[in-house]
Amino acid sequence: MSVSPLEALPLDELRQRSSTKWRSYPGDVIPMFVAETDFALAPAIARTLTEAVTRGDTGYTPPDPGLRGAFTAFAARRYGWEIEPTRIRSTGDVMMGVVELLRATIRPGDRVVIAPPVYPPFSMCIPEAGGVVEEVPLRDTGDAWALDLRGIEAALAGGARAVLLCNPHNPTGTVHSRETLAALADLAKRFGAVVISDEIHAPLVYPGGTFTPFLAASATAAEVGYAVTSASKAYNLAGLKCALMISASERTAAVVNGLWPEVEWRTGLFGALAGVAAFSPESDAWLDAQMAALDVNRRLLADLLAEHLPRARYRTPDAGYLAWIDVSAYGWGDDPARRILRDAKVALHHGPLFGPQGVGHVRLNFGCAPEVLTEAVRRIGALART
């Protein structure tokens, strides 16, 4: 059954927002850098938050605001993943959860594997937790990106004690297969390491793709892994501060339950209320409509690049609304986003922040109206012709 795409809000309305996306640059700049989308909130979320404000429900987050039940039902419905509700705890955001889990599972100075190009805070949160970053870049197979399992094996054999996984991967939109995740779990078990899987983009996998939660990839993955996720990327709730830390075995559950109580106290009440509404069946139709809109845009972007930036290299992502684009052929320097901002008035994310593999690249957020996406690429294309 086809789903009608969600329509993005008009620019004049969006520019009234006070979030990072809309307050970082002057009004003549099209902002397409940070992972915020341009759609109205899902009705169930908007209603829930409005009712909370009306009744002055702005206090501390209770021990069980309903998140465990809402997410376990969502995971079963959308992923076919059965989770024990008691093995879920909340915190303020995904990176908070990652830092606390790393602190609980590695020793100061231990090396932690990441797979660049990858979300820039990965390289920041590891030192915050006392670890040392070890890069094992994604492999370019020629038509896709994949984890370098041999490289990860060598890193673990050399003493790395954890793998910080992005599943699905940001910025490439790669959806890792069950087989790949199970093989990663086997490596972690063999070398006595853990895997912490950031699954914040999981609800954003396009039709035809299958998201496999790391903890569900195999019995071994359940033993060695932790998952951290949130409704924030799929439902545009980053400012409300709520994420979930999930375990799937008695041993890993003991680690999560052993975190300081303050870790859970950092959960925002509005984030918890919005998360429950987001994960409810009532919001499924909204999510499906948003995915239909994003599907249109990821394909439109390919056409626009072919027309206006034919030397750019872009693979249509299998998940998410972030496009990883190689524009190095245009000679705009190691960090082309700077030139594009200055001369085309389009704000993109800086490729080198994602690792050395990001030189000559930009990340573009296409969670917007098709007309906005078209104008942005047209502006950049004009720059290429000067």
Q: Which element (helix H / strand E) includes 89?
A: strand 88-91
Closest Cα partner for 270 from 233, 242, 250? Answer: 242
pLDDT attached to residue 154: 98
Last residue of a domain, one of 225, 251, 280: 280
**Overall domain count for the chain:** 2
pLDDT in tens, 252-272: 999 999 999 999 999 999 999
**Residue 72, token pair as written in the block:** 């376990």
Q: What is the mean pLDDT of residues 30-57?
A: 98
Residue 317 lies in a domain: yes
On the 0-12 / 13-18 / 19+ scale of CB atoms within 10 A, 340 is buried
Q: Are 266 and 302 in a shared domain? A: no
Residues 6+ apart with CB under 8 A from 106: 112, 129, 130, 131, 161, 162, 194
pLDDT in tens, 10-24: 999 999 999 999 999
Q: Are 203 and 158 in a shared domain? A: yes
Residue 252 lies in a domain: yes
Q: Are 306 and 209 in a shared domain? A: no
Q: How far apart are CA 214 and CA 96, in angstroms?
A: 19
Q: Are 197 and 262 in a shared domain? A: yes
Closest Cα partner for 229 from 214, 217, 209? Answer: 214
Q: Are 125 and 271 in a shared domain? A: yes
Q: Which element (helix H / strand E) includes 226?
A: strand 225-229
Q: Are 268 and 317 in a shared domain? A: no
Residue 148 lies in a domain: yes
On the 0-12 / 13-18 / 19+ scale of CB atoms within 10 A, 334 is middle
> SS3 of 312, please?
coil
Backbone dihedral angles phi then psi of residue 362, each to the nearest 5 degrees: -135, 155
pLDDT in tens, 74-133: 999 999 999 999 999 999 999 999 999 999 999 999 999 999 999 999 999 999 999 999
Q: Are 56 and 229 in contact (CB under 8 A)?
A: no
> SS3 of 246, please?
strand
Q: For residue 330, what is the domain's CATH number?
A: 3.90.1150.10
pLDDT attached to residue 256: 98
Identity of the amino acid at 108: P
pLDDT attached to residue 264: 97
pTM for this model (two decimals): 0.97
Q: Are 260 and 287 in a shared domain? A: no
**Residue 272, token pair as written in the block:** 């918890």
Q: Are 242 and 332 in a shared domain? A: no
Helices of type H across 158-239 = 178-190, 219-224, 232-235
Res. 1 pLDDT band, cuts 50 70 90:
low
pLDDT attached to residue 73: 98
Residues 6+ apart with CB under 8 A from 185: 195, 214, 217, 218, 220, 221, 223, 224, 225
Residue 110 lies in a domain: yes
Q: Are 31 and 267 in contact (CB under 8 A)?
A: no
Q: Are 19 and 239 in contact (CB under 8 A)?
A: yes
Q: What is the mean pLDDT of the chain?
A: 97
Biggest CA–CA distance in the chain, Å, is 61
Residue 6 lies in a domain: no
Q: Are 53 and 160 in a shared domain? A: yes
Q: Are 127 and 60 in a shared domain? A: yes
Q: Are 276 and 287 in a shared domain? A: no
Q: Are 16 and 130 in a shared domain? A: no
Percent of the chain with pLDDT strictly greater than 90: 98
For helices 67-79 and 269-278, give the axis angle rounded to 10 degrees.
Answer: 30
pLDDT in tens, 324-371: 999 999 999 999 999 999 999 999 999 999 999 999 999 999 999 999
For residue 148, the enclosing domain spans: 47-280
Q: How far apart are CA 314 and CA 300, in angstroms?
A: 12
